Every structure is written in structure tokens, then in C-alpha cells.
Amino acid sequence: MSFLANLGQTGARRVVTRGRFTRDGRCLFTGLLEFVPRTRNMGQSFFCASSNHYRCFSATAAHLNASSSPTANQKTPSYSYIIVGAGSAGCVLANRLSEDTHESVLQLEAGPKDMVLGNLRLSWKIHMPAALTYNLCDDKYNWYYHTLPQAHLNNRVMYWPRGRVWGGSSSLNAMVYIRGHAEDYNRWQTEGAEGWDYEHCLPYFRKAQCHELGENRYRGGSGPLHVSRGKTNHPLHKAFIEAGQQAGYPFTDDMNGHQQEGLGWMDMTIFKGKRWSTASAYLRPVLGRPNLKTEVHCLTTKILFDGNRAVGVEYTQKGQKKRAFADKEVILSGGAINSPQLLMLSGVGNADDLKQLGIPVVQHLPGVGSNLQDHLELYVQQQCTQPITLYKAQKPFHMVKIGLEWLALFTGYGATAHLESGGFIRSRPHVTHPDIQFHFLPSQVIDHGRVASKVEAYQVHVGPMRSTSIGWIKLKSANPLDHPILQPNYLSTDVDVWEFRECVKLSREIFTQKAFDPFRGSEVQPGPQVQSDTDIDAFVRQKADSAYHPSCTCKMGSPSDPMAVVDSNTRVLGLERLRVVDASIMPSIVSGNLNAPTIMMAEKAADIIRGRPPLVDPGVPVYRPPTLDTQR
């Protein structure tokens, strides 16, 4: 999702790395130091890897499926578990699996740490909530993916930022904490993910969470993931919620609780004014464990197999090819793009595709890279007649003031991503649970935040939650350095076209309510000239963009499902000692942002891996609307 316009970058010309874009854009608070003072509760900065927890042996075993081997006679360490990726899921697994002191864990992250100055300070570019567009529009901490030209979006190439740093995309996202609807997880159960219904997932949402409003049946109160409620007193956020009620939608006091439906205040993964990524919540506090070793700048290039058993991985670090071996399991947590890519590079995927690239087939699984799903969204923007948007906050003088306040106190405009209100509605009668999501922002976003706001304006991000357009991921080549081919097939069904048309109409309806009368100027986009269905459809094709929620590319399902990749225990089908745990194993996309569900899945998978009985909340109430007519 592209968020806060230019509270990450504005102004002078800058060439974005690798020559992919030349944009008007510079980072917010450019005069500020590149670090955040540490506080006592941020966890330790260093780990101590006791050699007692790791075994070493020669890496030149002839039976491994490797075309080349590392340096001769190199001693190769062995661990209980190897986790590939330190993102939203990987950090959770590193924490939970290393709780067992008799097990050893190696975590390999392709990117850097989220820290600077010899690991003594947190990077403000990540941990200042308002600076989020800085990393969305740069590739220092970002894989910087792009899709194929989209035939139904005027052949536009879509930009997909994905985290390549400790915390993964939880270090880049807008910090909105949304779980999705209970029926999303009940649907997973019917799609073959046995034991992943809402009764079995809710306890893991609660286990992960420490909500500032305290514990109840839906909220957790003692987990490592701090979650706060939007605290803004901004009149435009209040106007949006009030306008929704005037349009006939209910107010919900907790869209992650009993009733998702309605408009209200968002939950955020922000703690004491700082981004609370999974690196902050799960990884840094346990770096001192002697049985946990973390490595950064490690590009994992291949899973090593002995027959159909995963026995380790091959990776490159600082130009050197290395190997590590797992006594128990290799666990992929690279996300919806990197996990299927690594599987295919290792010979696990559609056999015909692999053979064309000269990759030896280890296991024919045609579902690897298939079933790609994402949330597409667009912005409906309105000029504001009062100077109360974030337009002035993007001016140099105000940016410096905001930055200095944040560095000193972790308060003010720098301490939020400003997406503090939003909600979920049903698009039409007989829809049983919400299928449209809103995020409201008291500012204007242009081109993922790479271009400065032009006017005082506010906007709503809106899109359908359960698209029927399905895509795929394939390898471009057998070279691990080549980004895979991404084909989401956006807007390729008539249902999706109709739903987006409704999204525009419903957003306009909210903006015309009395609550916005003191603020409403002319419509910026789509613009007053866009009125007919044909014109709205053309606007959608020109302006819709990714919400940055790719998922479902290694879907969980029954072994009888020919397109399933992992079973309900997250094990890769047909192989031993290999799992995938991240957003790629979702059977279908959920109704909301994906960070919270991914963390939940990792918590649940950790119990599965450790052989613990599953948590369950039998009979947990699920909200049913009093009528299947829409609330309007």
C-alpha cells in the first residue's frame, strides 16, 4: 500500500538506486542523524553464539544436489533449524524455536539489520513511523520488485516493495494492524487448511499481541507485539468516521474484535512513538540467546536435498558461497515472492518449467508460484478548504521541527503513519461479511509518495478485499540474482471491475456527507468530469495500484489438492524436513492487511513444529449482521 505522501521524501531531485526511477524526491528530515537513541526495553544489540550448540562437519558430501561446493575442506555448521528470512514470520520463528534451549537455530536474512552505528542505534528511516515512504521508495531495505505490464491496467507496470531487512515488510509497512474477518479463517478450513479456522487462529493472534487497551477475549495483553489504538485528534479523521455513520454505516470500536464491519479507529503496530516491527518485538530481545545465531546479507540460493529430505541450504555472503546444515528442518520464511522463488531454484515446482531452465527436478509441485493474490486499491481525493492537512508538514521548516520533536520525545507528527481511521463495509445486499476496506489519510499521495503533495487535500484508500483475479510467479532464469516474473493479472474479471466501480461510488458518497461540509473543496480524483460507469472504469484502469499484499503462492491445502504446496502442518508436500511459514501459504487472501495474519501464522506454526498441542477458543462469538442488506 502506498501511504504517507512525502513525509518520507519530497523536494530536490534524486536518482533512486540502480537507475530504476528518477523522481523529484528526497527524504524527510534530511538534516537529521541516521539513528535513534536506544532505550532500555529495545533488547540487546549483540548475540553470543556458543559453539556448544552447533556442530561442524565437512560440506563436500557427494550425495547433495549441488552443482558446485564451497571451498574445499571448509567446515560447515549444523543446526537444529535453519530459518530463511528474518521478516514478519521469520523473526517470530527465531524467537519461539530458540525458546527450547536444547535446540539451535540459524536465521539467514538477505538484507541488513535495522540498526546503524555498529548496531548501537536504530535507524530512524525505519523506526520513525512518518518516514515510511523513504524505504518504500528506495531499495536499501527493499527488494524493489516490479510486475509484468498489466493488460487490464493500461499496460502499466506495478511496483511491489517488499522488505529486505530485519523485520521484513513489517519494517516497511504502514503499521496498520488488521487481522481480517473471522470468516476468512473459516474459509481456510473449507479450502483444506485443517485446524486453521477462526477458533484455532484467534488464540495465536492473542498470544502475539500486547494491546494497550488491555486483554479481552479478542485482544492479547501480554504478547511481544505491542499494538496501540490511533490517538489522533485530527478533525479530518473524526469527520471521516462521522461521515460514514451519516452514510448509514455502523461505528465499530474494534475492527479486530467481535465486529469488523463499520468505520472506526485503526490499531497500529506503534509503541511509544516508534515502529514496532517483528524485529523489535521478537528478534532483538532474544539476540543474547546462545542457541540463536543470526546472519545478515545472506542470499540463500538453494535448498540442499538428500533424496527427498531437505538437509541444509546454500547461500552467499560477502561474495563467498557457504552452506549450513539442519539436523531437523529447513524453514522458508521469505514471503510470497522469495519463498516460491527459492523452492523453484531448488527443483521444487512445476517440472516442465524447471526443465526448461535446466533445473533438476526434486519434486513436481505445480502449485509453487501459482494462486498469486493481492489487494488492489485506488485513492479518491478531495481538496480541503482549511489548511489542516499534512501539506505544510512536508515543507522543509516543518519537517525539521517534526523530526527534532520525534528524536527528542518520540511524539508529534513523526510518531504516526497518519492512517489512523478506516473501516470495512459490505458492497451490496446479501454479502455476508465486509468485502471493501477503507484507509483514510489527511493528505494527498502521488506516485507511492515519490512526488510531493500539490494541494491541501485528503483521501481515502479503497479497494475490494476478495478479488477474483488470480496470478502467478515464475522464474526468469536459474540465476538467484534475477528477480522472478510477477504476473498478478489485476482486474482481469468482470466482478473485479464492478467492485472497483462501486468502491469509487461509495467513497464519493461518504465524502458528500454533512461531516465534511466544513472541509470539502473540489474533487481532485477521479475528478468531477468522471461520472459515467465507463469513465469510472477508465479511471480505475489508469490509477489503481497494489496495496502491497502479495500472498498465497505456496498455498496450504489437502494433499489431494493438486495445487497445494504445504499441508496443514506447513510441511512441503512430498518432501521431508522442509516447511514454508509466511504469507505465501495462505490458501486465500484475507479481508485486510497481511502483517498481523502472518505473525499469527508463525506463532501457530511454531507450536506445530515444537509438537505442542494447538491453542483453541471453542465457540468464540462471530458477529453476524442483523440483516443481509447493506448498512446504507
Enumerate the active-site residues: 549
Per-residue burial over 44-83, b = 16 or more CB atoms within 10 Å of its CB, e = otherwise:
ebebebeeebbeeeebebeebbbeebbeeeeebbbbbbbb
Ligand-binding site membership of 175 (annotated): yes
Gap between the Cα atoms of 302 and 47, Å rounded = 26
Task: Please provide residue 300's backbone torsions phi and psi, each rounded to the nearest 5 degrees.
Answer: -75, 125
Per-residue burial over 131-170, b = 16 or more CB atoms within 10 Å of its CB, e = otherwise:
bbbbbbbbbebbbbbebeebebbeebebbbbbbbbbbbbb
DSSP string, 236-253: HHHHHHHHHHHTTPPB-S
Ligand-binding site membership of 239 (annotated): no
Q: 540-544, long-range: CB within 8 Å, 24+ apart, which pairs?
A: 540/378, 540/491, 540/497, 540/500, 540/501, 540/504, 541/152, 541/153, 541/154, 541/491, 542/153, 542/154, 542/156, 543/378, 543/379, 544/153, 544/376, 544/377, 544/378, 544/463, 544/490, 544/491, 544/500
Beta bridge partners of 324: 313
Query: What are the residues whose beta carbons fall under 8 Å from the beta carbon of 289, sequence distance 6 or more?
Result: 47, 98, 101
Q: Which of 480, 471, 472, 477 has the alpha carbon at shortest distance from 356?
A: 477
Gap between the Cα atoms of 475 and 471, Å rounded = 14
**550: cis peptide before it, omega within 30°?**
no
Gap between the Cα atoms of 110 and 480, Å rounded = 12
The one-letter code for the residue type at 316 is T
Q: How buried is residue 576: exposed, middle or buried, by Cβ count under 10 Å (0-12/13-18/19+)?
A: middle
Ligand-binding site membership of 128 (annotated): no
Gap between the Cα atoms of 49 and 51, Å rounded = 6
Q: Which helix (H) or strand (E) holds 92?
A: helix 90-97
DSSP string, 281-345: IIIGGGTT-TTEEEE-SEEEEEEEEETTEEEEEEEEETTEEEEEEEEEEEEE-SHHHHHHHHHHH
Ligand-binding site membership of 173 (annotated): yes
Q: Which of 599, 261, 237 has the alpha carbon at shortest distance from 437?
A: 261
**Residue 52 DSSP class:** G
Q: Which of 461, 383, 381 has the alpha carbon at shortest distance from 420?
A: 461
The three-class DSSP label of residue 159 is strand
Q: Which of 256, 259, 260 has the alpha carbon at shortest distance from 268?
A: 256
Largest CA distance in the chain: 75
Say if residues 161 and 581 touch (Cβ distance below 8 Å). no
**Residue 614 DSSP class:** P
DSSP string, 368-393: TT-SBB--EEEEEEEEESSS-SSTGG
Q: Which of 85, 135, 136 has the alpha carbon at shortest distance from 111?
A: 85
Ligand-binding site membership of 174 (annotated): yes
Q: Which of 253, 241, 304 has the alpha carbon at shortest distance from 59?
A: 304
Binding residues for FAD: 165, 173-176
The binding site comprises 165, 173-176
